[in-house]
Each structure stands twice: as structure tokens, then as C-alpha cells.
Structure 1
């Protein structure tokens, strides 16, 4: 009598665990994301520098709005992870599994970059409405009281954006959002695997574990931050812009990039670099550690498999 076939982790579980791991990481790094957003939109239009550095930005927010303001827009941030990270990690895991099943070997660097690009684009498009709500909610506190949108929660933000500006406004800035996500995922996934292999198999001979994951993800985060920040600036400015007398503040991604460089200097394209980097590295570490633990628990207790991870 042949043994019953082993249970396989379903595609739905892969998407679910991807979203849960991203949401868990976001609960930790949300204040840095808010600081990054505030610094990116400071000086928009006027060219005047609002914050000296990240610490000054944090002090200003706490002083004017209170410590809880650092978690302003947390509902939108969690919704973004529930859509964007669910889509990108779920899609990447699915594509990776399909590659291994078809070709009987692990994907190379170029294959990983291609799969990361596709996964990033899919996740970003799905997550853009939550991204728009997040940008608006985290930036609202810096506006004069009369100009604030005063969204009460993420559902209120999505509803009001749809009713006041039309449903297409939910995908405002979708092109730079998708472009940024493609660059981020292509760079992040490929460089992470290369750094991890170097630290593990190179002269340092690091053992598999949190220390290895931390070092590889922080270097991957540095490279990813450098390549993706100009697109992130464009995305943030477009999603936060207002339409006055039927005329939008920016015409598109290139218009934002050229105007920021001309009015605020070329290095303004990397404004908010420190909080962006400090957010991206730990978020990557926490996301993948949580994802690995969720997969290990599911494989061990639900499908009775010792497979370590779904990636």
C-alpha cells in the first residue's frame, strides 16, 4: 500500500503569510515611514527646507502633534501591507515554486530579478489605493489647520477620495509607484541573495540565522534605497498633490524629478534617505523572519513537513 501524498502549502496560504509578515513588520517601523514621508514633501512648491534632519523632524512632530502622531495613518499602512506585500511576496513565492517545479533547480540571479520585477509590479498596482491614503494621512499634520483633509481613518480616506476626486484618484501616482516597486523588488531580492551567499560561503563563513539575515538585508536595503528613492520622492509628491482650479500640481514623474532637482537641488531627490534606509532594512529583516516562522509553524503543525520556508 503506497503512502498518502504529502500535503502541499496552498497558494492562498503563501499570499496570506506574505501579508501578515509585512503587517507585523510595519507595526515596528511605521514611525520611520511617517518621518520619511514628511521629509519628502517638505519644501514642495516653496523649496524651503522644513527639517534639518530626521531627528529634527521627529522632535517637531512630537512637539507639535504629540507622540501618538508618529503612528498617524497606521490603518492605511497596515492596509497597504495587506494588499501590496500580500501581492508581491505571494506572487514571488508562486513564481519561484513554479520555476523550481518546471526546471528542477533554483533560479539564478537574473531569474530572481525578473520574478521580483513582476511580483513588485503586481503588488504595487493592487496596493496603490492604500498607498495614496497612507501618504495623505501621514502628511496631514504638517498642513495648516484650514488645509487639512482630516480623514478619520483609512476607510474614510478611501471613501472621501473616491467621492471628492473620483475613483481614478485612488490610483494617482500608480506609474511611479509601480516603477519604484519594480526597482525595489528587482534590486532587493537579487542583491539580498548575493549578499547572503557571500557572507555564508565567503571568507566570513556566517552560519544561517538572524545575524546572517540582518547583515545581508541591511546591505541590500542600502543598495535598494539608493536606486529607488528618486522614484519614491516622485510617488510621494504626486500622491499628496492638490488640484487647484482643475490644474494638477505636477504633470507626471519626470516633471516632479526635474522640478525637485531645479528648485531644491539634485540631492533633494534623496531627501529622507536616513529614515527610508532605517525603515527598509529592518522591515526586510522582520518581514522575512516573520514569514519564515509562519511557514515553519504551518509546515510543522498543519502539513507535517520539515520544510523550513515557502520561499
Structure 2
């Protein structure tokens, strides 16, 4: 049940935030391996990107890649949040004093595919989820379906660690602060989620850009990347041509996407957990540090 609750929470959030992911992906690919001023700027900023995508490709284009994005959420957050809930209920994330311890390729292709006049990055000619899977398999066999996974792993590790840790640290701090107490509940969860969104956006932003570039690059007949030989090669080439700013491309839409997604996901998660405990006759879900 813990894994179902985590998956449902993430799917609910994903339905609202996928358009933000589409915009983020487009901006991250804009000006790939080109110095500032040497490429056409299709998307001037976050809001302008929304306008251009809707005007050029139609309003439904902002939900490109929704099906694989939700499937991704089921697998990722079903395991991540479900596993964390199991650890939380069993006290595995607490120290001896009962306090929280800090020690203890499809989606991107669909979202990056744009109308010819506003295309950025390599354009994979696919028509949907099944088409994208077939193309990836045709280009690289079984390994093609996992291409870019090496770039995604650091992103997931840093993102999950910073998001869950900051969320629970802030949540407990707000509930136990002597000067202003915000007890566990909806407001507490909302504020903690917003802070968690800021932390994860800045910690994961550069890794997210690298992951997007690796996932989206074209391949030759042997399935080798046309732009990058691997993770380190991508970092070197980005640094040389785009500088530090290149790693933070799309940081605003990155936060605008991660912030609401974190809030919605954790609010849904907390409320579903409370409902589960109520239906099973268990006491309210209150971390041990507050008892």
C-alpha cells in the first residue's frame, strides 16, 4: 500500500506539472553547445516559451510526453516515497533520540520534439510513446532504451536526497520551533514542500541539464552519441562552449516545475497517508521527534 500511495501522489502532481517539464526541456536544449549570441533564441523566457509552443504547435503540445512522464512517476516515486514511508513507519530514519537523521529515455524525446520553426536540440521524428520506444530500440537495440541512464543516476540521487531530507528537516523545524510553531498539517507540509523545491532545483538543476542533453542527443548507425561520448564528455563540452551559465539553463522553469510538483506530490502523499491510517484505525502520522 505504501508504494501505491507514493505512486498515486506523484501521478496526481505530474498531471499538473508536465507542461512545466516540457518548457524546461525546450529551454535546456536551446543553444546546445553554442556560445551566447551565436544561436537563435526561440524561447526568451519561461512565459514566452509557453506562448510560442501554444501558438506554433497548439495548446495540447504543452502536454507532450504525458503518458511516459506519468509512468516514470509511478516507477520512481512509487518506490522512492513508498520506501521512505516504510522506513519512516519503522523508525529507520531516526537516530537514538528519536530525531530525524540526515546521515541515516522516452519522456525527454517527446517533450523536446517541436515544430520546425521553433525546434531546439536534436529532433527525433516520433509520433507518440510507442513510436519513441520503437525508434530508440531500432537505433540502439535494448541498450538504446537505457541510453542516458548514466546521466540520470546522479540527478536522481542528488534530487531524492536533497528533496526528502530538506522536506522533513523543515517540517520538523516548523513544528518544534520555540518562537513560532506551525504544527504538522497542511500548512506545515505546504511550506516544507516549497523549501524542498528550492533546495532540489538548485542542487539538481545542472545535473538535470546534463541528463536532458544525454537523453536527447542523436546517434550514429552504431548507436553512438553524435555530440557526447558520455557523462564526463558532456560536462567538458558544455563548460567549454556554454560556461557555468549553460549548466543552469532553464533553472527558472526547473524550479517552477519542481516547486509545484514537490508541493502537490507531498501534500497528496501526506493526505493519503493520513487517510490510510484513519481507515486502518491507526493514530495520526506524527514523527517521533514531536512526541
What is the TM-score normalised by the length of structure 1?
0.80
| Deviation string, structure 1 residues 145-172 (Cα, Å, up to 9, x no partner) | 9x85343332332233223321111211
Give the deviation of 1:133 after TM superposition.
0.6
Conserved? CA contact 2:148–2:211, under 8 Å: yes
* Structure 1 residues 310 and 198: CA distance shift in structure 2, 3 A: closer
In 2, the alpha carbon distance for the partners of 1:192 and 1:83 equals 21
Alignment pair present for 1:236 and 2:212: yes
Out of 54-63 and 189-198, give the one that drifted further. Answer: 189-198
Number of matched pairs: 278
The secondary structure found in structure 1 opposite 2:114 is: helix
Alignment pair present for 1:16 and 2:8: no
Query: Which residue, out of 22, 28, 39, partners 2:16?
Result: 28
**CA root-mean-square deviation:** 2.6
| Deviation string, structure 1 residues 75-133 (Cα, Å, up to 9, x no partner) | 1111111111112112222333444499886463324xx5xxxxxxxxxxxxxxxxx11
In 2, the alpha carbon distance for the partners of 1:107 and 1:230 equals 32
| Deviation string, structure 1 residues 196-248 (Cα, Å, up to 9, x no partner) | 23333333322332222222221221121111111111100000000135441
Q: Which runs of 5 or more residues in structure 2 are unaligned?
A: none
Conserved? CA contact 1:200–1:212, under 8 Å: yes
Give the equivalent residue in structure 1 for 2:170.
195
Alignment pair present for 1:264 and 2:242: yes
1:150-229 alignment to 2 at 5 Å?
150-202=125-177, 203-229=179-205
Conserved? CA contact 2:139–2:221, under 8 Å: no
Conserved? CA contact 2:93–2:100, under 8 Å: no
In 2, the alpha carbon distance for the partners of 1:151 and 1:105 equals 54
* Structure 1 residues 101 and 149: CA distance shift in structure 2, 3 A: closer
In 2, the alpha carbon distance for the partners of 1:296 and 1:71 equals 31
Instruction: Considering fraction of residues, name the structure with more helix.
Output: 1
Give the equivalent residue in structure 1 for 2:259.
281
In 2, the alpha carbon distance for the partners of 1:309 and 1:83 equals 27
In 2, the alpha carbon distance for the partners of 1:199 and 1:96 equals 18
Out of 74-83 and 50-59, give the one that drifted further. Answer: 50-59
Query: Which residue, out of 96, 102, 105, partners 1:110?
Result: 102
| Deviation string, structure 1 residues 24-46 (Cα, Å, up to 9, x no partner) | 00011111111111111111144
Give the equivalent residue in structure 1 for 2:113.
140
* Structure 1 residues 191 and 101: CA distance shift in structure 2, 3 A: closer
* Structure 1 residues 193 and 297: CA distance shift in structure 2, 3 A: closer
